[in-house]
Every structure is written in structure tokens, then in C-alpha cells.
A and B are shown apart, each in its own frame.
Chain A
Amino acid sequence: MRCDDLSETLAAAADGTTLLGRAERRHVERCLRCQAEMVQYRKVLRAMRAMRTEVLEPAPGVLADILANLEAAGERRAIRSMISGHKAAYLGGLAAATAAGAAGAIVFATRARKLRAAS
């Protein structure tokens, strides 16, 4: 087994997601280079995990920008819903007028037919 073949496994073993197989373990036990690599991966991973609790100071104005952006988006949404509301009312009115016209035509045609039949 060559050290280079183990490189990926060592990182995963250091992170605890993979267990070394018997042959791999035997190699690492005898190989100073792989042992050193494993220790280095552990140090890197430990330092990365420690960064999890670290909160960096946001640049000045970031919060104000986020809130202003949300405000603007909220306003845009309100305007859009108002426009779509107007559109819906307009289309609804149009549909109602069309339906009323059609109903009137039907009534008119029915009456005319009845009058013709009576005469």
C-alpha cells in the first residue's frame, strides 16, 4: 500500500466519518508520514470547527441595507398585488358584462321566437 493511496481515507478518518480498514491501519501504524498527515488533518478540522462559534463583525451599514432592501421588496410586492388586483377587477367586470350581454341576447332571441310562434 502506498501513502498516496491513503490520502483521501486519512482525511475522512480524521473527521470520523470513515474507519480505517485492517491493512490501512497496519500501514499507518508503521508509516510516520501517514501518521503526521493524520495529525495535521485533525488539527485542520479542529481549527475549522472552532471557527463555527466565531462571529465576524459585519461591515457598518449591513443591517440597514438588508432592512431597506426588504422594505423596498415589500413595497414592490404591494404595488404588484395592487396592480394584479386592479387587473382582476377589470377582467371580472369584462366577464360579467359579456355574460350579461349573452344572457340578454338569449332572452331576446327566445322572446322573438315565442312571438313568431304565437302569430
Chain B
Amino acid sequence: MPREVAELVVAAQGGDREAFDELVRTTYADTYTLALRLTGNEEDARDVVQEAYLRAFRGLRRFRGDARFSTWMYRITANCAATHLGKRTKHRHEVLEDSDPIPDERPSSDPQAQSDASELRARLTAALQTLPPKLRHVVVLRDIYDLPHEAIAAELGISETAAKVRLHRARKKLREDLFPPRVEEAADAV
């Protein structure tokens, strides 16, 4: 844990409100990034990040410091995002899937274009948004934020087996979105 954050945590645990505010200022962009990746839109991300810091504030005394503060915040944010999206009766991605499919602008036979990391990342970001939230949560927390299966399962309220199954489905879907079979391959498969 960077010393500055560690010191702020200790001060905030001792009841220093200013220290907690400073902790928020130092970490909120990172927390917001995760919230945005999990929820897929700014409005939900804003709600999730507010709730996450509120929970962190209330539970700060329980933070033992054996993990990084950022990891602790990721877990709280993941939990808040799951709760927040669970309350929704209709998910935004369903609308997006119907009306706004990701355009496949990749020249299918150009390997150079495929190896362009920044282009791949841009398409990956778009593909993540089309995943159902349940799959997106798991793959974002595991493959971007490197949380262990156990922690992901605990924060999302599912079993580890379910987390692993969702991770596999999400990865498969992402791979298929980013590398769709070429026309002749698809024809061969039929």
C-alpha cells in the first residue's frame, strides 16, 4: 500500500474526517473507473461509487490493512454494483443489444490490424458493454482487476463454481465478438 494512503487510512480509522475525504480524493477516479466498467453507464457508476464510499466510511474500522485499500474498495464497489443492478428490472444492455450492435470494422483478413493493441482495446471496451451484467462483473473483476474467484463469489453472492462458469462464458463471448469466424470458416462449420 502506498505510504500516503496507508497513513490516511490509519488517520481516518481514528476518526479523522478530513483524512477520509483526502482518501476519497486520492482514490475516487480508480473506484469510478471500476464502477463504470461494471455498470456500463455514468449515471449508475455515479450512484455505485457514492454508495461504495459510504459503505467504506461506515466499515473503515473493519479494514485490517492486510490487503491494499484499493483492493478493499474494489470489493465494496463490486458488491454495490451487483446490488444496484440487481434492483433494476430492466437492464440497459438489453436495449443496447437490440438497437446498437457493435459494428465489426475489423478487416477480416488483415492480421496487422488484429495485432493493433489499442484498436483491440477499444473494441474490447465496446464488447464488454454488450455482455450481460452478470458475466461482465465476473470477467472485469477477474481479468482486469485480478480479484480471486473466492472474493468475486463472495461479493456477488454466488458460489465459486458459478463464478468460474460465468468467467468462461464471458471470455468465450468476448473472444467470439472480437474474433468472429471468417465467412468461409462459418460456412465450413455448417
Chain A residues within 8 Å of B, Cβ to Cβ: 7-8, 11-12, 15, 37, 40-41, 43-52, 54-59, 62-63, 65-67, 69-70, 73-74
How many Cβ-Cβ contacts under 8 Å join chain A to chain B? 94
A interface majority secondary structure = helix
> From residue A51, how far is it (CB to closest CB) to chain B in Å?
5
- With a cutoff of 8 Å between Cβ atoms, the chain A residues found around residue B37 in the complex are 51, 56
Closest 5 CB pairs of A and B: A48-B143, A58-B32, A56-B33, A40-B179, A11-B171
Q: Is the CB of A44 within 8 A of B124?
A: yes
Contact residue among B29, B57, B120 (Cβ-Cβ distance under 8 Å from A47): B120
Chain B: residues with Cβ within 8 Å of the partner, total of 39
Q: Can you name 7 A-B pairs with beta carbons within 8 Å?
A: A7-B172, A11-B172, A51-B124, A54-B33, A55-B33, A62-B32, A69-B54
Between A8, A59, A66, A67, the greatest number of chain B beta carbons within 10 A of the residue's beta carbon is seen for A66
CB of B13 within 8 Å of the partner chain: no
Could you tell me the dominant secondary structure of chain B's interface residues? helix
CB distance from B66 to the nearest CB of A (A): 21
Question: Which listed residue, A37, A54, A63, touches B25 by the CB 8 Å rule?
Answer: A63
Q: How far is the CB of B76 from chain A (nearest CB, A)?
A: 13
Q: Does B24 reach chain A (CB closer than 8 Å)?
A: yes
B46 contacts which chain A residues (CB < 8 A)?
59, 62, 65
A30 nearest CB across to chain B (Å) = 18
With a cutoff of 8 Å between Cβ atoms, the chain B residues found around residue A12 in the complex are 168
CB of B21 closer than 8 Å to a CB of A: yes
In angstroms, how far is the closest chain B Cβ from the Cβ of A12?
8
Given contacts A47-B121, A66-B49, 4 further A-B contacts (CB under 8 A): A44-B178, A52-B146, A56-B36, A66-B24
Give the Cβ gap from A105 to chain B, nearest Cβ, in Å: 45
